[in-house]
Structure 1
């Protein structure tokens, strides 16, 4: 039985950290996983580098929102199921209440005319933030290993080219490092032992808007791999094309809300749920999206903890991590291509990246606030 040293933090400390990250953590999944590494591994040293890598690999392997799953896993590391549950809840709740409030204002006042001006500046700043986060994550996790850099490059290029994360390539990255750095005899350890497949049994014939919301968003949480980049097209196909719950402009506003609020980008499901069916629509959409990712994290977690230090598993995790970070880097380029559409947005993004690179202790919310003001000045005042 593996012995565990007493953690250097309490469960209350961890919950307070994730409450703060959920309330102030801007920049989407790339930035959020970078903040967790910076705060929990480097600065506070609550989590080891190996535990963080295992969590990142598991989060990338399993479907669902990347940052939320990593937060759940890090909560599990020292405090088990209770830690995973409380950490994940603390991370999601602040942004959920924010999108509820924005959803109420949106319905009450007939739209968000100021949103595009704010998003103009904030969206550009977010690109700068996630660029720096991706750079730090890459240099810290890959080091000078040529094989890992090759896997990183392949995933970065393919993610940029196809504009989606290709899960079989990420898995292949783990297998390649496994073969190169561990004996083929380790093949007797099947990954099926620690990565069970969970299928949510839901009666599709059930009538009622809430049941439709529950079923659709459960599919989004259970079968969409990657971050907000991957889930947005899935949501568009369902809420706009299939069910016609929202029109084009309302969906664009929903994505904008996700980007200008802190916490996981996928929390936009709460905003969409509110527009479709009010308060309970938001609750059902959020629960249906995050419950599968919670299960996909806590069920394999003990096997990762038990076998994660095994040479074969460690090699596999190293390959998965390099592939995941490559996919994240490719996603940064895709988002930048879509967001940086003119000279002012390009300048805002470059200035944000340069400032954060130079002033490493500067808090990102201040940068977001300034960018929002710049957007309003450029699009409204001028």
Structure 2
């Protein structure tokens, strides 16, 4: 019934617009995304854009970027929040919840399994072989994301200047990402007032907006009933989230698990600037304050987090698993159960605020679609994000191609020629031949495993 109502509102007519996806179809897509969302936020956003804007046409280009720009302003993993937003837009509150949960659930179980192998056997040869292929592909995916978003967002010389300034600020001067976002938003607000032509969606000199055909939720789609602001809905949502947060804490046994619940709730609220901005906070708490794991273990967890699907902040699941295992929460005979429960607690309290942020503010964001006072700052943020993603691609590339390097000796240890060739081949496959990200990752993983087997 819900799908039929939404289909009528979005107008499935004879204008080439695809049929509104059913809840079941969307469910299977979000589940698939949870297993293939490699490449950090840039790669994950690129996957969603390729699937939902270009191929399936569930949402238009401008509506997608409008939602993405808003998610950039929030604390928490922006790619997962974008999935929640799009799921909510398509299938109401439950659609957002399902999209957000399935975005992280596969990663939780994959990380739990790999962490168990890591702790129980210490034999990561198979995993290392697969990651040897995935890591160069991730570099290519992030670089490809910078190119794709840049080709759409950098519509004029002013946007190019914003992207360049953002890259210089973060690469050379280590300006924190939140400050870059705030600065870009302020410039966009002023530019929307003084130079509106440069900040109009699709406007400005040299604009080259791509159009992939009519979308289910298009630029001109009337506001859907569930996207209209309602104080009753807002208070109900906030009350339910707060009650759920308190109930889970009350049900947890006092001690390590409640410490994790409180700590990761705090961490979720300070994740402005992405996972790398909050990792020092997680390191300080997990290693120094609570002793859930050691420093070298934290580095290993980051490597696993970078090479598995899901947001990079999923490294909190690794921290939780190791903490539960180390403290033997359920006795020495149930170490895996202790690790899995602790990893689940860390994940739940880290991601709960993301659902609240999106589901509570979504109606406000939808009401600003097409309003230059709101879209101009977001357009400027998108331009700045291109520079930030390029910096991220260089960061990943440096660590993959010179794995022994350090800030003091940036090119020590020799160049990894296999990783370099594989990254180049993966980028060409994505850019020139438009091969799907999933296929590129699968082939890269097999090549990495084969190469590692031959070398060892």
**Fold agreement, TM-score > 0.5:** yes
Give the equivalent residue in structure 2 for 1:193. none
Give the equivalent residue in structure 2 for 1:235. 282
* Structure possessing the higher relative contact order (Cα contacts under 8 Å, 6 or more residues apart): 1
Give the equivalent residue in structure 1 for 2:265. 218
Q: Is 1:167 matched up with 2:228?
A: no
Kept after mapping to 2: 8 A contact 1:76/1:84:
yes
Which one has the largest radius of gyration? 2
Q: Secondary structure at 1:220's aligned position in 2?
A: helix
Q: Is 1:22 matched up with 2:34?
A: yes
- Aligned residue among 118, 140, 145 for 1:133: 145
More helix by share: 1
Q: Is 1:180 matched up with 2:196?
A: no
Give CA-to-partner distance per residue, 1:113-170, whole Å, 9 cap, x none: 544444333222210121112211111233x322222111111222223557421221
Give CA-to-partner distance per residue, 1:16-36, whole Å, 9 cap, x none: 211111112222211110111
Task: Provide closer, same or farther for how the CA distance between residues 376 and 10 of structure 1 changes in structure 2, counting only shifts above 3 A.
Answer: closer
In 1, Cα distance between equivalents of 2:28 and 2:37 = 13
Kept after mapping to 2: 8 A contact 1:213/1:285:
yes
Q: Is 1:325 matched up with 2:386?
A: yes
- How far off is 1:365 after superposition? 3.5
Kept after mapping to 2: 8 A contact 1:21/1:91:
yes
- Aligned residue among 82, 85, 92 for 2:94: 82
Query: Residues 194-209 of structure 1 correspond to what in structure 2 (within 5 A)?
Result: 208-209=255-256
In 2, Cα distance between equivalents of 1:47 and 1:294 = 20
- How far off is 1:378 after superposition? 4.5
- Aligned residue among 74, 78, 82 for 1:66: 78
Give the equivalent residue in structure 1 for 2:430. 356
- How far off is 1:98 after superposition? 1.4
Give the equivalent residue in structure 1 for 2:314. 267
- How far off is 1:261 after superposition? 1.8
- How far off is 1:380 after superposition? 4.9
Give the equivalent residue in structure 1 for 2:131. 119
- How far off is 1:240 after superposition? 2.5
- Aligned residue among 148, 154, 177 for 2:159: 148
In 2, Cα distance between equivalents of 1:236 and 1:369 = 32
Task: Provide closer, same or farther for how the CA distance between residues 118 and 84 of structure 1 changes in structure 2, counting only shifts above 3 A.
Answer: same
Give CA-to-partner distance per residue, 1:326-362, whole Å, 9 cap, x none: 22222222222222212322222222212222220x2
Q: How many residues were matched structurally?
A: 363
Unaligned stretches of 5+ in structure 1? 185-197
- How far off is 1:79 after superposition? 2.6
What is the TM-score with the length of structure 1 in the denominator?
Answer: 0.86
- Aligned residue among 2, 7, 10 for 1:5: 10
In 1, Cα distance between equivalents of 2:433 and 2:274 = 27
- Aligned residue among 421, 440, 445 for 1:372: 445
Q: Secondary structure at 1:73's aligned position in 2?
A: helix
Task: Provide closer, same or farther for how the CA distance between residues 372 and 248 of structure 1 changes in structure 2, counting only shifts above 3 A.
Answer: farther
Kept after mapping to 1: 8 A contact 2:137/2:426:
yes
Task: Provide closer, same or farther for how the CA distance between residues 162 and 214 of structure 1 changes in structure 2, counting only shifts above 3 A.
Answer: farther
Unaligned stretches of 5+ in structure 2? 1-7, 12-18, 196-237, 325-338, 403-414
